[in-house]
Amino acid sequence: MATATLPPKNSPGPKVNRLGLPILEYRGGKSTLCAGCGHNAISERIVDALFEMGVQPERVMKLSGIGCSSKSPAYFLNRAHSFNSVHGRMASVATGAVLANHTMKALGVSGDGDTASIGMGQFVHLMRRNLPMIYIIEDNGVYGLTKGQFSATADYGSKLKTGVINDLPAIDTCSLAIQLGATFVGRSFSGDKKQLLSMLKAAIAHKGTVMLDVISPCVTFNDHEGSTKSYKFMQEKDEPINEIGFVPSFEEIDVEYDHGTTLDVTMHDGSSLRLRKLLEDYDPTDKVLAVKTLMQSHENNEVLTGVFYVNTEMPTFIDLLNLVDSPLGTLDQLQTKPAREVLDRMNASLQ
């Protein structure tokens, strides 16, 4: 896949993107997560995607809850404001932030505990609002910071290091998100560089709620034999339903594709998401089929990955609010403080 990079002008310096920024400007602090943690790979892909898409770092807001995953916004994009909030409640903070400034790109990072257990209440309501933001679940099936308890995305029959078997069904955040109204839903694997990067770039181009569940093995507490969220398990069971190609709006589309096997989705910003079918008859614009396919995959003990659902037509929550173009947070009092005569009128009407 082509990237957004341009050759630097007159110097053999570092590669820069369309804004003239080197990738260094998209990096964050040094990770304090375990070596080999899937979350670190996801942070790297986020850096790559923002760099390649040429997103101005200051135009991004990073938001997270609490947990290993929620620490990761400190490890990418230092030049963006970041809000590490409370456990399970990033969704509401992000909602408020987006309402205050809908001109920015909001990127939320959560975990499986942070989303599917303590954060379920806010997660489902975020999805149904189709608020413009990217919501990433770094999903490892366990609580890392408290040393390895199951989370609600742990698969039925999965085994903890201590030998405890999970005897409850997993919550599938993707099928939930699709049912509830998210308009770009996919699952990937932290170890699949190419798929995850393409998915993230398409996510950046999408206008409504993007929900990405990224399986991200916990090397310390959930990477053993019997775990269904281990590197080994994913390498064996990962079944991509489509091959994802992404052509940004600022690049020429020059690659021919087969219309019978590939769906070309034009994103809001004019870029192209090309999904080549790997699963026969799969249509990522069909909500019912998407949910059905996901439910079937659970019956078959498969882990489907890819873009499950995309809808570029649905109005976002911001569209529904009919807001002024400028961010609400920066309106001055000429726009927000009614005049003296208005209060005089109000007083008169109350007499």
Cα separation, 151 vs 69, whole angstroms: 13
- Taking the C-alpha atoms of 221, 226, 232 and 233 in order, what is their torsion angle to the nearest 10 degrees? -110
* Residue closest to 114 by CA, chosen among 63, 67, 177, 166: 67
**Contact of 122 with 128, CB cutoff 8 Å:** no
Mark the segment that binds another protein (CB under 8 A) among 153-161, 176-184, 266-274, 332-340. 332-340
35 near another protein (CB under 8 A):
no
Nearer to another protein by Cβ, of 38 and 57: the residue is 57
Tell me how far, at minimum, the Cβ of 71 lies from another protein, in Å: 9
Mark the segment that binds another protein (CB under 8 A) among 98-106, 190-198, 200-208, 237-245. 98-106
Which residues have CB under 8 Å from 210's CB, separation 6+? 133, 134, 135, 182, 183, 184, 185, 203
Q: Which of 16, 68, 104, 212 binds another protein (CB under 8 A)?
A: 104
* Residue closest to 213 by CA, chosen among 127, 92, 95: 127
337 near another protein (CB under 8 A):
yes
**Contact of 191 with 230, CB cutoff 8 Å:** no
Nearer to another protein by Cβ, of 162 and 347: the residue is 347
338 near another protein (CB under 8 A):
yes
24 near another protein (CB under 8 A):
no
The residue to which tokens 């096997």 are assigned: 261
Q: Which residues of 23-52 are buried (b: 16+ CB within 10 A; e: fewer)?
A: bebbbbeebebbeebbbbbbbbbbbbbbbb
Tell me how far, at minimum, the Cβ of 31 lies from another protein, in Å: 13
Q: Which of 18, 79, 193, 298 binds another protein (CB under 8 A)?
A: 79
Phi-psi region of 181 (alpha: psi -120 to 50; beta: other; left: phi over 0): left
**Contact of 187 with 174, CB cutoff 8 Å:** yes
Nearer to another protein by Cβ, of 53 and 307: the residue is 53
* Residue closest to 215 by CA, chosen among 230, 225, 202, 203: 230
Nearer to another protein by Cβ, of 98 and 263: the residue is 98
Nearer to another protein by Cβ, of 83 and 257: the residue is 83
Q: Among residue numbers 272 through 301, which ones bind another protein (CB under 8 A)?
A: none
92 near another protein (CB under 8 A):
yes
Mark the segment that binds another protein (CB under 8 A) among 44-52, 212-220, 237-245, 315-323. 315-323
| Alpha-carbon distances of 83 from 73, 91, 106, 107, 108, rounded to whole Å | 8, 11, 11, 10, 9
Mark the segment that binds another protein (CB under 8 A) among 3-11, 59-67, 158-166, 265-273. 59-67
Binding site for another protein (CB under 8 A): 25, 57-59, 61, 63, 73-74, 78-86, 89, 91-101, 103-104, 121-122, 125, 321-325, 327-331, 333, 335-338, 340, 342-344, 346-347, 350-351
